[in-house]
Amino acid sequence: MNMNSLKGEHVHKRNAVCILGTGDFGRSLGMRLIKAGYPVIFGSRNPKNSALLPGGAEVFTHADALKRSQIIFLAVHRENYDFLQPLCDLFDGKVLVDVSNNLKINQYRESNAAYLSQLVPKAIVVKGFNTVSAWALQSGNLDANSQVFVCGEDGEAKHLVMDIARSIGLTPLDQGSLLAANEVENYPLQLFPMWRLPFIITAGLTVLIYLYCLVTDVINPYVTKQVDDSYRIVVSIPNRVFPIVSLILLGLVYLPGVMAAFLQLYRGTKYKRFPNWLDRWMLCRKQLGLVALAFAFLHVFYTLIIPIRYSVRWKWMQYTIKESKKNQTAEYNQWWFWSVDLYLAMGIVGFGLFVLLGITSLPSVSNAVNWREFQFVQSKLGHVTLLLCTAHVFVYGSNRFLDISRYKWGLPLPYMLSLVIPCIVLVLKLILITPCVDSKITRIRDRSHGRRSE
Ligand SMILES: NC(=O)C1=CN([C@@H]2O[C@H](COP(=O)(O)OP(=O)(O)OC[C@H]3O[C@@H](n4cnc5c(N)ncnc54)[C@H](OP(=O)(O)O)[C@@H]3O)[C@@H](O)[C@H]2O)C=CC1
Ligand SMILES: [Cu+2]
């Protein structure tokens, strides 16, 4: 009749979940599970001493709790696992989830989950949930870090655990067999794991290109002509480095996607794992994109201040004085007007789309759009952004190349390097969207689907 009775019915459909250990993690997980409608049964060394447990949960001794449920979360530190040995027979055919973390990377020879499955051979051990903190579970603050890695030998057991994860608002990711547990356990101990590669690439590119420009723009004029152009260190050179690095990074965001599509095309199936490096690269695309966006922002700000820079105004003044002394005006150059407006416009629109891409990658926004919308924005719009930004840089540079008198040997090398990866991506993408190749890919994906449902 009313909502409560409906909810009550819903609750009855959920299977009871047992949690061994009433510490921080056990309690937080129990609270979330109860909110999601699961009956929760705690197993504790002191069942009477349980004032802090979430309301609605029941507490028993370990043995009694185990008898009441088919799925068990073990919220106890690895060092204390031996209490399970006498209870071994109660685990027969049950799913046992290992959520434990260690204090150091590779602290033990075998993963905690492997150790557990030796200790309790009758249980079906699944590793998971160790990447969420008790605090995040309790506060419901899962937006930023809702990913949980799950691995185990038994597919059905894994699905059960992944369903539970989903029902409490987490995003489970299947990592394969229990052999992956080592990696899954090391993950939370790494500092910014997804950011490491993007950070190294960005820092490397930035330093190299900066140094190159330093040599060509400051050191070379000083040594050969005794001209002191050292003021370029603070604005001119950074404003060349930022767009170049940004464009290279944006290219690197979309390169693994097109490479993966070609790999599928070559293999004729999409159900074969990608090589490890490609997987890793794909996983840090978002971070690469966000760094690229930050650099694009810097480029925009540095460009906006150009008119108020004293060095620039001084040069304009000198130019005007020179022209008036010669009593002549510069020629009216339509091509020049057009190309400057063109690259500025492409830069603005490209930057606008880039910001849009950044916004849609925020978890709170991507949760609000459905999968197709997200795919559309990130892939279609992403490649259009890349196209516009590449064109922006290309037209900007060709301006200088066509006018040989402005040609400096400092500009071309980093500039041309910045165009290489984006152009490769765009050409490959162009091939991929031609009707003939596109239909081939669709066929591969459809055929794979068919095979899977057989
Ligand atoms: N805290 C966190 O944010 C996270 C924790 N984890 C993992 O969850 C597990 C539990 O962590 P956490 O809750 O923080 O730890 P706590 O120390 O808060 O709780 C551990 C619980 O284990 C039980 N316990 C302790 N010693 C023994 C023993 N000798 N024999 C049997 N049971 C024992 C106790 O429950 P009782 O008194 O009821 O028997 C105790 O409350 C760990 O493996 C940890 O790595 C994973 C991700 C995040
Ligand atoms: Cu620019």
Residue 22 CA, closest ligand 1 atom number: 38
Shared-domain flag, residues 49 and 173: yes
* Count of the separate structural domains present in the chain: 2
Shared-domain flag, residues 171 and 306: no
Q: Is 343 in the pocket of ligand 1 (CB under 6 A)?
A: no
Q: Is 99 in the pocket of ligand 1 (CB under 6 A)?
A: yes
The alpha-helical segments, DSSP class H, found in 305-434 are 310-325, 334-360, 363-366, 371-375, 382-402, 412-433
**Predicted local confidence at residue 145, as pLDDT:** 67
Look at residue 3 and tell me if it is in a domain. Answer: no
Shared-domain flag, residues 323 and 416: yes
In sequence order, what are the residues at sequence separation of 6 or more whose Cβ sits closer than 8 angstroms to the Cβ of residue 202? 245, 249, 291, 295
pTM, full prediction = 0.66
Shared-domain flag, residues 155 and 279: no
CB atoms within 10 A of CB 407: 12
**Predicted local confidence at residue 400, as pLDDT:** 65
Shared-domain flag, residues 133 and 220: no
Shared-domain flag, residues 301 and 221: yes
Shared-domain flag, residues 128 and 223: no
Question: Bridge partners of 95?
Answer: 71, 124
Query: Where a domain ends, among 189, 220, 239?
Result: 189
Q: Is 24 in the pocket of ligand 1 (CB under 6 A)?
A: yes
Query: Where a domain ends, among 189, 220, 246?
Result: 189
DSSP 309: -
| Nearest protein Cα to ligand 1, atom 48 | 133
CB atoms within 10 A of CB 49: 11
Shared-domain flag, residues 348 and 382: yes
| Nearest protein Cα to ligand 1, atom 17 | 23
Shared-domain flag, residues 146 and 203: no
Domain holding 241: CATH number? 1.20.120
Q: Is 83 in the pocket of ligand 1 (CB under 6 A)?
A: yes
**Predicted local confidence at residue 244, as pLDDT:** 94
Shared-domain flag, residues 140 and 107: yes
Shared-domain flag, residues 148 and 207: no
Pick from 22, 25, 31 the residue to mutate for probing ligand 1's pocket: most ligand atoms within 8 Å of its CB: 25
**Predicted local confidence at residue 304, as pLDDT:** 94
Look at residue 367 and tell me if it is in a domain. Answer: yes
Pairing of strands 124-127, 95-98: parallel
* Nearest residue to 76 (alpha-carbon basis) of 124, 137, 29: 29
**Predicted local confidence at residue 37, as pLDDT:** 92
Domain containing 55: what range?
17-189
Spans in the chain with pLDDT lower than 70: 1-13, 141-145, 191-193, 270-271, 363, 367, 399-411, 446-454
